[in-house]
Amino acid sequence: MLNLSVLLESSAFKYGNKPAFTFGDTTLTYAQINGAANQVANGLIANGIQKGDKVALSCFNLPYFPIIYFGILKAGATVVPLSVLLKEDEIAYHISDSDAKAYFCFVGSPDLPMGQMGYSGFNKSDKCEQFYMIMTNPTDPSPIEGTKTLGSLMAGQSPSFETVRTGAEDTAVIIYTSGTTGKPKGAELTHSGLVLNAGISKDLFDINENDTALIVLPLFHIFAMSCLMNAIAYGGGHSILLPRFDAEAVFGLLQKHEVSVFAGVPTMYWGLLNYKDPKFDYDKIAGNMRVAASGGAALPVQVLKDFKDRFGVDILEGYGMSEGSPIVTFNQADVGTKPGSIGTEVWGVEVKLVDDDGNEVPVGEKGELWYRGHNVMKGYYNKPEANAKTITDGWLHSGDVAIKDEDGFYFIVDRTKDMIIRGGLNVYPREVEEAMIKHEDVSLVAVIGIPHDEMGEEIKAYVVKEEGANITEEELKAYTKSKLAAYKYPRVIEFIDALPMSATGKILKKELRKL
């Protein structure tokens, strides 16, 4: 038997009065986080949530996130974390596709009315039965009449709870990942896979109870969830939460809290390097920082070198996928590191590079990266056909092309899929195309990723207009932005008379990339 909440419970026992999570001027200890999670678990059980039920969660990097996350796990249910940027139709899809029975959603702000969009999405799902608004002040009533709040769920509930017994191979988290075709799919990650990945992350970064980490990566993303929140909880460290990346805010927290562990996507490191306001003591910040890690997209070697020059810390780069819980390979201090590489296999994970027939390729030759081990998902939730294509005899097909050098280090060199990784977030072209083509002035559209210095890749759409249409680039951008999460709409639109196609009518995106 195993439940992922053991990471929190163990540290609550060992480090009960030690700071666990800080947001702004509020700091909660491990005992307080664990007690609040127990209240959530008691509330869920009292409201009919049973072992194996799915519970969705939309929340910024706030202490509410780990409280609800671990509360769901304690109740024996499965957490379904959702991006805070999803719009109502996307929310409805995710909670319906995952069979979520309950949904916690942060109220948001006038600029980002998450609560209103979440409730609208909830109402469009015929499967989800319970909605709870997460208020900034837990005692405040919901702004939507008739809806319950997190505070009302927890009110009167005991801070003690006997965690529901779950199996090591039971599903702990369903995390949605973008594919290249169709809609997002929910990767089922097990209690054991996530516990082991948290342990691996703890060891990779040598996290202990004396560490303070800044978490600005979104907690709904597997990188932040597993490699930071869970790993730091496992090690008894102190997590500083920041909902949104801003270089000035990051440097302020790095200095104030004497942060020793930081992880980000390449665009964040790019932003930090380009911020040089003299009001901060960068020598002090550099002196405190012990570990810097990067994932989500390829890190330019120049950024790695510049960061080392300025802060005296090597950025450890790795490779992972939502389907891999997430870590597959990493640059490891006790094995060795190579700039520009994604490192070597982590403990318990095997990697091989194969050709189109599934045969392993020689050292130095390109092949699709396959991996197997404790980290591999059970499969995509209710997607047997996709699972058959993605996993062969336990080997998960990553869709990424890599080479392995003579020292056993892997380097990603290409992508077999059309996935766009914008600022560390995955965007699949088909979803963008489907949204854009619904506009009456759009006849045909093809979306690709183009190189971008800051974001890694930017989204570009080639659009064929309907005859006589006079829609502008800005109008079409605004329309698409209203239909999709903000990171998904194309920043570049080019109108074109015709799209290159094959004899069978397939759009040739490789030709568009040459334009």
CA-CA distance, 342 to 332, in Å (whole number)? 10
CA-CA distance, 255 to 259, in Å (whole number)? 7
What's the pLDDT at 356? 85
Which residue ranges form the domains of the chain, and what is each CATH number? Answer: 6-189 (3.40.50.980), 193-375+385-415 (3.40.50.12780), 420-512 (3.30.300.30)
What's the pLDDT at 161? 98
Q: State the pLDDT confidence band at 392, using cuts at 50, 70 and 90.
A: very high
Average pLDDT of the segment spanning 233-251: 97
Strand partners of residue 490: none
DSSP for 429-491 reads HHHHHHHHTTSTTEEEEEEEEEEETTTEEEEEEEEEEPTT----HHHHHHHHHHHS-TTTS-S
- Look at residues 295, 328, 306 and name the one whose alpha carbon lies nearest to residue 425: 295
CA-CA distance, 229 to 298, in Å (whole number)? 22
| Extended strands (E) in 275-314 | 291-294
3-state class of 290 per DSSP?
coil
Whether the predicted pLDDT of 319 surpasses 60: yes
- At 439, which amino acid appears? H
- Dump pLDDT digits (tens) for 431-452: 898 889 889 999 889 899 999 9
Cis peptide before 326 (omega within 30 of 0): yes
Task: Copy the structure tokens of residue 188.
Answer: 């089922």
Task: Copy the structure tokens of residue 24.
Answer: 């702004």
Contact 255, 280 (CB under 8 A): yes
Phi/psi at 137 (nearest 5 deg)? -105, 115
Range in 164-168, 239-243, 374-378, 400-404 the model is least confident about: 400-404
3-state class of 33 per DSSP?
helix
Whether the predicted pLDDT of 180 surpasses 50: no
Bigger pLDDT: 444 or 250?
250
Q: State the pLDDT confidence band at 506, using cuts at 50, 70 and 90.
A: low
pLDDT above 70 coverage of the chain, percent: 97
Average pLDDT of the segment spanning 3-11: 98
Per DSSP, 281 falls in state -
**Span between the terminal Cα atoms of the chain, in Å:** 56
Give me the chain's average pLDDT, please: 94
What's the pLDDT at 413? 79
- Dump pLDDT digits (tens) for 91-102: 999 999 999 999
Alpha-carbon dihedral 462, 466, 467, 468, rounded to 10 degrees = -100
- Dump pLDDT digits (tens) for 46-60: 999 999 999 999 999
Range in 159-163, 335-339, 471-475 the model is least confident about: 335-339
CA-CA distance, 491 to 117, in Å (whole number)? 23
Per DSSP, 323 falls in state G
Whether the predicted pLDDT of 119 surpasses 60: yes
Per DSSP, 360 falls in state B
CA-CA distance, 515 to 511, in Å (whole number)? 7
Q: State the pLDDT confidence band at 414, using cuts at 50, 70 and 90.
A: low
- Dump pLDDT digits (tens) for 337-347: 998 899 999 99
What's the pLDDT at 509? 85
Q: State the pLDDT confidence band at 178, using cuts at 50, 70 and 90.
A: low
What's the pLDDT at 416? 64
Average pLDDT of the segment spanning 263-276: 89
Q: State the pLDDT confidence band at 297, using cuts at 50, 70 and 90.
A: confident
Average pLDDT of the segment spanning 494-508: 76
- Look at residues 471, 470, 490 and name the one whose alpha carbon lies nearest to residue 481: 490
- Look at residues 326, 329, 319, 402 and name the one whose alpha carbon lies nearest to residue 364: 402
In this prediction the pTM is 0.87
Longest dimension (CA), the chain: 70
Alpha-carbon dihedral 319, 324, 325, 328, rounded to 10 degrees = -40
What's the pLDDT at 128? 97
C-beta atoms surrounding 435 within 10 Å:
22
Q: State the pLDDT confidence band at 229, using cuts at 50, 70 and 90.
A: very high
Task: Copy the structure tokens of residue 421.
Answer: 């990784």
